[in-house]
Amino acid sequence: MKEISINQINQGGIADSKYEGESNSVYKSVCLDLHTLPGVIQANYELKRDDGELIDELCKSIVVSSNGHVYFFSSESGKIWRKSSSDVYSLHYTVSASSGESKILGAMEYEGYIYWATEELLFRVDVDSTDWATDVAEWQTFDVGNSSYHPMAVARSRLWIGDGYKVANVSAPLGGGSPVFTSNALDLPSDQIVKALGSIDIQLAIGTYVDDNVNKTTIYRWDTWSPSWNMDDTIEEVGINAFIPVDNYFFVQAGKVGSIYSYDYNMLYLTKRVPGTYNMTYASRVSPNAVAFQRQLPLFGMSRDESVAQSGATPGVYSLGTVNPRLYHRVLNLEYLTSTNSNTTVIGAIGVRGNQLFVSWKDGTSAGIDTIDYSNRYDGAYLESRVIYLDRPEANVYTHFVVGYVEMPDGCSVKAYIKQNYADTWTEITLTQDTIRNKFYSTLRLESSVVEFKVELETNGADSPIIDYISLTGEDEGDQDRYRV
């Protein structure tokens, strides 16, 4: 008997394509929870809109403050919205810069203040202020005044801010005293624009961008006290877009085609590419602040590149993680779709407060904030197998398709679909439930050259089927064999 099984995808995740991938990988894994219970598959919780349709502009910076509030900073104007500690959204403040544009290009809390940057100016307000109308200060002026990016990061107990080809900083003196601003802490080559900042131990990592016509970008590593950077590495990509945080290091997302690199403090190495269609119409990027580390998973919002019409990859919040790095390697998974579920969505930023995510997005003229809905799991979360080759030279007949489960809560079920010989559309398979053997099954007769399967989980509120086994079996005239996809 021959058997093709699809399981343990927590050790394979999303494959490089439907035709090839590492062991246990699948072509698509959409809104599945692969890591909470290793070895089984269940639907993830869904994202829902949280701001009551109040927010109407894309926010590319989110500050989860120590004062209990969450602030959302518009990248299109000077608007700042707040979700209070009592979970009420409001338009909290509107910036009107005295010079340059007022749209907000970076924000962070540091040493008792909330800082944000417009094109030419650095603003701040005391974390405990109850009267922003009086207390907000137009505090400092940038040297360059970049109109697109002012990324921020804390390294070596200082706040670092990108400003065109320069890096500025804010330093809080030891023992107290007024913070000190330095507008030109580091100069890079003048054609570079600082787009992303991150920390490596006590060092600063600087990711740059030139423009959309230059297929070359550089990461710089700087100890923050030497007169120049200590190490650099240049790769053939259109910009370093974001640093994806892990425990004590990060991945680097670069370019427009979903490239993810690892970094060994000296050089970048291509690790993964988010699958998708990439051309002049379809492209994807991760915004500098659309990254997070939550529940031991590095998360990033892959979305439409703002210079093209549609996303090359499925827009959503992906992970490149594992529940136990000592036992399993990191795998790619599409954890969450935004509430828009659209291929034209831009994800601006991700914030984390405990077990809650805040995901800002814009789609067309609509914008908003999503959070995890712990009362509902995704109804219709699914996986698609890679292409399964059914031994073309031999006369094999596959006759049984099985989806085994650990739990099938009331109101939950499973659907399955098949494509044969590279068909364009899915055909639903009629499944019969066997409650004694904990499985859904179908009797088939497949004499195709190749097949693909899709398994979809039907949920009920916070309950999901928990799947442990998917297989296709059949008889052949040769010796018994077993295959795993």
CATH code for position 452: 2.60.120.260
The string of pLDDT tens digits covering residues 239-266 is 999 999 998 899 999 999 999 999 999 9
H runs (alpha helix) in 184-266: none
pLDDT of residue 476: 56
Same domain, yes or no: 97 and 155: yes
Q: Which two tokens mark 189?
A: 């080559």
CA–CA gap between residue 77 and residue 105 (Å, rounded): 10
Top pLDDT among 395 and 303 is at: 303
Residue where one domain finishes, among candidates 291, 318, 334: 291
pLDDT of residue 398: 75
Residue where one domain finishes, among candidates 232, 260, 291: 291
Same domain, yes or no: 269 and 392: no
Mean pLDDT, range 197-213, rounded to an integer: 94
Q: How many domains does the chain have?
A: 2
Closest by CA to 407, choosing from 377, 452, 374, 371, is 377
| Element spanning 132, H or E | helix 132-135
Give residue for tokens 């004062």. 67
Please say if the pLDDT value at position 482 is more than 80. no
pLDDT of residue 376: 98
Top pLDDT among 221 and 327 is at: 221
Main-chain phi, psi angles of 412, to 5 degrees: -105, 155
Dihedral of alpha carbons 150, 152, 158, 164, sign: negative
Closest by CA to 268, choosing from 222, 235, 242, 231, is 235
Same domain, yes or no: 256 and 398: no
Long-range contacts of 361-367 (CB under 8 A, 24+ apart): 361/58, 361/303, 362/57, 362/58, 366/56, 366/340, 367/55, 367/56, 367/57, 367/58, 367/59
Same domain, yes or no: 22 and 56: no
pLDDT of residue 485: 47
CA–CA gap between residue 175 and residue 194 (Å, rounded): 31
pLDDT of residue 483: 38
Distance of CA 210 to the CA centre of its chain: 23
Give residue for tokens 């997302």. 253
pLDDT of residue 392: 62
Q: Which two tokens mark 207?
A: 């990711």
The string of pLDDT tens digits covering residues 153-197 is 999 999 999 999 999 999 988 877 889 999 999 999 999 999 999
Q: Which two tokens mark 151?
A: 């990324």
Mean pLDDT, range 118-135, rounded to an integer: 98
Q: Say whether 96 sits in a helix, a strand or coil.
A: coil
Which of 51-55, 76-80, 207-211, 393-397 is predicted with the least confidence, judged by mean pLDDT? 393-397
Please say if the pLDDT value at position 394 is more than 80. no
By residue range, what is the domain housing residue 193? 49-291
pLDDT of residue 326: 86
Among 115-129, 169-183, 379-393, 431-445, which range has the highest average pLDDT? Answer: 115-129
CA–CA gap between residue 5 and residue 281 (Å, rounded): 37
pLDDT of residue 1: 62
Mean pLDDT, range 335-362, rounded to an integer: 97
Is residue 123 in some structural domain? Answer: yes
Same domain, yes or no: 55 and 33: no
Q: Say whether 86 sits in a helix, a strand or coil.
A: coil
Is residue 335 in some structural domain? Answer: no
Is residue 356 in some structural domain? Answer: no
pLDDT of residue 76: 98
Q: Is the pTM of this model over 0.85?
A: yes
Give residue for tokens 């089927």. 465
Q: How many CB atoms lie within 10 A of CB 433?
A: 15
Mean pLDDT, range 61-87, rounded to an integer: 97
CA–CA gap between residue 9 and residue 331 (Å, rounded): 9
Same domain, yes or no: 265 and 247: yes
Same domain, yes or no: 14 and 63: no
Residue 267: give its domain's CATH number. Answer: 2.130.10.10
210 and 192 Cβ atoms separated by less than 8 Å: yes
Same domain, yes or no: 21 and 57: no
Top pLDDT among 253 and 201 is at: 253
% residues pLDDT > 70 (the chain): 96
Residue where one domain finishes, among candidates 252, 270, 291: 291
Same domain, yes or no: 139 and 94: yes
Same domain, yes or no: 29 and 128: no
> Is 143 exposed, middle or buried (CB count within 10 Å of its CB: 0-12, 13-18, 19+)?
middle
Is residue 352 in some structural domain? Answer: no
